[in-house]
Amino acid sequence: MKRKGSYSVSRRQFLAAAGVAALAGSVRGLADTDSGPELRDPSDGLRRPNIFLAIADDQSWPHAGAYGDDAVRTPAFDRIARRGVLFNHAFCPASQCSPSRASLLTGRNIWQLEEAGTQASLFPAKFDVYTELLERHGYHVGYTGKPWAPGNWRQAGRKKNPAGTEYNRHHLKPPTSQISPCDYSANFADFLQARPPDTPFCFWFGCHEPHRDYEQGSGVRAGKSPDTLSVPPYYPDNDIVREDLTDYRLEIEWFDRHLGQMLRQLQSCGELDNTLIVVTSDNGMPFPRAKATLYETGARVPLAVQWQARIPGGRVVNDLVSFIDLAPTFLEAAGLPSQPEMTGRSLLAILTSDASGWVDPSREAVVLGKERHNHARADNLGYPTRAIRTSKHLYIHNLKPDRWPMGDPPGYYCHTRMTNPTKEFILAKQRDPDVRQFYEITYAKRPAEELYDIELDPDCLHNLAADPDHAALLAQLRSRLEAILKEQGDPRMGEYGDIFESYPYFGGMNPGLGGFAERGQYNPQFRPPRRSDP
Ligand SMILES: [Ca+2]
């Protein structure tokens, strides 16, 4: 076996992590010839792997070619899925940018992250992140595009963004007025050039797309057809919505194009084989009943993982996995000890097996949650909610059902003030009898409990919580969720759950909502009493 580079992982650790499956993966990788030049001999595998995370901003499952969506072209994602493992049931713990990214970085759920469990707040320095743990163990760590954001890490006592050192120097002329000018792949080249010799790297490609705004009509102007996509049943099927969904897909394609360029860069510098590549999205699409909800389009995200030197490819895995599993996976792959404060469990055993389908029987449920998103209600209140998603059902507990789920009318600013034609159409026509049903399911108030049969009702349209035939199941999922939350120390299960409402918000404040609206300040009304208080 040829070897090169530094060998920081012991042979024992390597064998434990990879097993005989590694060889099978290498052979399959070399046999796959769809990407040009022959890959280099991966038998130098005792080096610590590079860790490469590509994270889109607001892309739902199943909006990628590998999942069967013919209306979006994602050749780079699809290639990773073919050469690695495609996860069918991957979930972000919170359907929001910064809490979801904080969970990914720490391996903890949002109710275990204090301020960082809410959108655009602080990221307390006491929470270890995998990037810094790898950096302390000799990794070269950096990011391009969108890191942990939005939020304030400086005021929380951190010296740099939790995603690593910034590489955002290069810009290009983007194909639309609303796509970021960040030249992600040129910045990745910068990062690779800055790497000391024989040093493994950990890179975060945080694409700004397909987050809103979109240049309206850009998808059609780029040659995409709005006629082939399927419109979710909770939106009216009309030209406005189809155009919006087409513009969204164009931005997914921009993400994929840069991903493809970075894979070629990895290949040309000889690092493709020994890089653990993870491609996903921080939360679902920025549309009604998707982002900032715990329904399938909000919390279920694409996930494909490739590590040519170790992972047998060409597999589809149905286990339910969460972002909190990624940090433990990265640490184990790098040969670092597991961190007891991380709640997630490493996926490495699944990845290095040669199994498909449901691989680990214990992975049959994930828990999800959400606290405040944007400034969208009086007193800057959130819409706290928790959920458990099993292989068959989704149970959602809305903790404050008296509040408006997507923000107070008339603005419903949970989805910010950005241009959102689908939202604007539904709100403008909400009294129209043909549109009312869509308003009811996207913006109206929700009951305290929701229960959906995902196999029969993947769009989560038929709430079974009040159905007597499902009463036993409802009670079972309710108590199971509560037990997990209590075990994980969720403040919402205790006396001072409203502490989440006190956390500062550093995003834009919306005028006219009333009550507390101080940007970046704690709301004293919801701070729990100090221990010394009577
Ligand atoms: Ca996002």
Above 80 in pLDDT, residue 99?
yes
Write the DSSP assignment of 172-241 as a string of letters. Answer: ---SSTTS--B-HHHHHHHHHHTSPTT--EEEEEE--TTPSP--TTHHHHTT--SSSSPPPTTS--SHHH
**Of 13-17, 276-280, 356-360, 514-518, minimum mean pLDDT range:** 13-17
Residues 87/323, Cβ–Cβ less than 8 Å: no
The mean per-residue pLDDT over the stretch 364-376 comes to: 97
Task: List, as ranges, residues with CB under 5 A of the ion ligand 1.
Answer: 57-58, 97, 282-283
Residue 371 within any structural domain of the chain: yes
Same domain, 378 and 260: no
Tokens representing residue 95 in the block? 């359907």
Residue 164 burial by Cβ neighbours in a 10 Å radius (0-12, 13-18, 19+): buried
Contact 427, 411 (CB under 8 A): no
Cα(327) to ligand 1 centroid in Å equals 19
Let me know if residue 216 belongs to a domain.
Answer: yes
- Could you tell me if 373 and 329 lie in one domain? no
264 pLDDT more than 50: yes
With b meaning 16 or more CB within 10 Å and e meaning fewer, what string describes 195-209? Answer: beeeebbbbbbbbbb
Q: Cα of 91 to ligand 1 centre, how many Å?
A: 13
Whether residues 274 and 381 share a domain: the answer is: no
Q: Are residues 168 and 305 in the same domain?
A: yes
Phi, psi of 433 (to 5 degrees): -55, -30
Ordered DSSP codes for 342-354? --S---HHHHHS-
Q: What is the mean pLDDT of residues 139-153?
A: 98
For residues 394 and 451, the answer to whether their CB atoms sit within 8 Å is: yes
The answer to whether residue 426 is domain-embedded is: yes
323 and 418 co-located in one domain: no
Residue 9 lies in a domain: no
The domain boundary, picked from 306, 322, 355, lies at 355
Please check whether residues 323 and 421 belong to one and the same domain: no
13 pLDDT more than 80? no
- Looking at the structure of the chain, the number of domains it has is 2
Establish if 2 belongs to a structural domain. no
Range in 41-55, 85-99, 345-359 the model is least confident about: 41-55
Quick one: 157 and 226 in the same domain? Answer: yes
Of 42, 9, 90, 36, the C-alpha closest to 351 is 90
Distance 58 CA to ligand 1 centre (A): 4
How many angstroms is it from 282 CA to the middle of ligand 1?
Answer: 5
- Asked if residue 139 and residue 119 are part of one domain, the reply reads yes
**CATH number for 85:** 3.40.720.10
Give the residue numbers spanning the domain of 418. Answer: 367-506
In eight-state DSSP terms, residue 46 is T
CA of 12 to the centre of ligand 1 (A): 39
Ligand 1 centroid to Cα of residue 210, in Å, is 9
Would you place residue 480 in the very low, low, confident or very high pLDDT band (cuts 50, 70, 90)? Answer: very high
CA 87 to chain centre: 13
Q: Give the Å distance between the CA of 22 and the centre of ligand 1.
A: 34
Mark whether 149 and 181 lie in a shared domain: yes
pLDDT of residue 531: 63
Looking at the domain assignment, is residue 514 inside a domain?
A: no
Q: Does residue 378 share a domain with residue 283? A: no
Confidence (pLDDT) at 34: 38
- Domain end, chosen from 308, 329, 355, is at 355
Instruction: Assess whether 207 and 141 both reside in one domain.
Output: yes
Query: For residue 454, how many C-alpha atoms fall within 13 Å in the half-sphere facing its CB?
Result: 16
Q: What is the arithmetic mean of pLDDT over 144-157?
A: 97
pTM score: 0.91
Q: Which pair of structure tokens corresponds to residue 90?
A: 């991957």
Cβ proximity of 127 and 110 under 8 Å: no
Higher pLDDT, 11 or 440: 440
CATH assignment of the domain containing 436: 3.30.1120.10
Which pairs count as long-range contacts for 457-461, CB under 8 Å and 24+ apart, including other chains? 458/296, 459/232, 459/233, 459/234, 459/296, 460/295, 460/296, 460/394, 461/233, 461/234
Residue 371 Cα, ligand 1 centroid: separation in angstroms?
15
383: CA distance to ligand 1 center in Å? Answer: 17
Buried/exposed 389-416: b ≥16 CB within 10 Å, e otherwise? beeebbbbbbbbeebbbbbbeebbbbbb
CA distance 33 to 266: 16
Let me know if residue 3 belongs to a domain.
Answer: no
Residue 534 lies in a domain: no
Same domain, 289 and 182: yes
